[in-house]
DNA sequence: TCTTAAATAGGATTTATTCCTATTTAAGTT
DNA sequence: AACTTAAATAGGAATAAATCCTATTTAAGA
């Protein structure tokens, strides 16, 4: 993935095999937790250390390349940072979907109501996905 | 707190000192993490065991008496379950505020956009609170 | 190819959470 | 007020999760 090499370079981070494998893995799953990343990578890189995984996850988050995704009643997951969006968690199949919906009116209502200056919002919804309803 | 005795009784849970202390503590703080609960209770009940604390938190969540509060870049916190609301986290003073704002239009937009049937929503916003702005 | 700062491996350590079971207790009953 | 019993606790052991440490390896620029 050339794309991730550029992303890493932009933050002066070396493009190690481990890092690229982590980013690749998270990208292909969309949303995934630490253990699943490890299980997915270790067959390809048997020497991959959990310390390396944890360290990289934390580093990549602080460089805003990854973002944590906190879902109700679920282990913490991670995703490639992208434009703001809402997460939908299907409580039947545990699939996580991204949805892009205008949130400005809500943010404005909250600002008005609270006096907070909002910088970020994290919105998760629980429910049943289209497939599980069928 | 008679209120919590009734709540526990309604779920056929015994009103132990430990449980009441836990509920009291969470109620008075509004939002608080496990370790802070422990530190707060142990001076009053030196025999309080961490196992008891963890077990009770989990039990009270499964009886819908408590709810987990997942905030970005923060340890998991807990609150007394109440009517749905939005959480505001001040990134300066780490205070957590509740705000009650109409979310129906957003939920409808998401339903329309995704085909999900939404059952619950968890909304957190980051920003600067009124006091920290001053 | 050489150099060097950055990154990794993997075991040790620390921290977080759950498990186990003998003892205690809440609360209903007599 | 004492009796009974199922539920709950204490606290140490076990397990799991995350971080730390440092000798070795590696990416990448010269």
CATH number for the domain spanning A8: value is 1.10.10.10
**Do A12 and A72 share a structural domain?**
yes
From the list B73, B97, B106, the residue facing A103 with the nearest CB is B106
**Do A66 and A6 share a structural domain?**
yes
**Do A41 and A94 share a structural domain?**
no
Bases of strand C lying below 7 A from some protein CB: 6-12, 16-20, 25-28
Q: Is pLDDT of B1 > 70?
A: no
Q: Is pLDDT of B3 > 80?
A: yes
**Do A76 and A90 share a structural domain?**
no
Sign of the Cα torsion A18, A23, A29, A32 reads positive
Asked if A128 and B105 come within 8 Å (Cβ–Cβ), the reply is: no
Report, in angstroms and rounded to the nearest whole number, the Rg of chain B calculated over CA atoms. Answer: 17
**Can you list the alpha helix ranges (DSSP code H) found in chain B?**
2-10, 17-29, 34-41, 50-62, 104-114, 130-133
Euclidean distance between CA atoms A46 and A48, whole angstroms = 5
**Do A128 and A103 share a structural domain?**
yes
Of the candidates A41, A57, A80, which is a domain's last residue?
A: A80
C1’ D16 / CA A13, Å: 31
Name the token pair of B4.
Answer: 């919590």
User: Which domain range does residue A40 map to?
Assistant: 2-80
CA distance A123 to chain B (A): 5
CA distance A45 to chain B (A): 29
Q: Which residues touch strand C (CB under 7 A)?
A: A 13-14, 16, 18-19, 45, 47-52, 55-56; B 5, 8-9, 14-17, 34-35, 50-51, 54, 58, 76
Predicted confidence pLDDT, tens digits, chain A (134 residues): 679 999 999 999 999 999 999 999 999 999 999 999 999 999 999 999 999 999 999 999 999 999 999 999 999 999 999 999 999 999 999 999 999 999 999 999 999 999 999 999 999 999 999 999 98
Asked if B117 and A110 come within 8 Å (Cβ–Cβ), the reply is: no
Of B131, B122, B57, nearest to B95 by C-alpha is B131
- Number of domain units in chain A: 2
Name the token pair of B115.
Answer: 């085909």
**Do A123 and A60 share a structural domain?**
no
Q: What is the pLDDT of residue A1?
A: 65
Q: Is A46 left (phi over 0), alpha (psi -120 to 50) or beta?
A: alpha
Q: Is pLDDT of B119 > 70?
A: yes
Strand partners, B104: none
**Do A109 and A74 share a structural domain?**
no
- Residues of chain A above pLDDT 70, percent: 99
């Amino acid at each position: 993935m050339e794309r991730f090499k550029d992303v890493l370079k932009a933050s002066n981070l070396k493009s190690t095999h481990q890092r690229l494998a982590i980013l690749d893995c998270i990208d292909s799953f969309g949303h995934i937790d630490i253990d699943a990343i490890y299980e997915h990578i270790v067959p390809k890189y048997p020497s991959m250390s959990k310390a390396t995984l944890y360290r990289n996850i934390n580093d990549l988050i602080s460089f805003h390349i990854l973002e944590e995704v906190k879902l109700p009643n679920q282990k913490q997951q991670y995703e490639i940072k992208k434009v703001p969006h809402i997460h939908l968690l299907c409580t039947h199949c545990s699939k996580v979907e991204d949805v892009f919906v205008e949130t400005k009116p809500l943010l404005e209502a909250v600002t008005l109501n609270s006096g907070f200056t909002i910088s970020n919002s994290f919105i998760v919804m629980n429910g049943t996905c289209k497939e599980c309803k069928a």
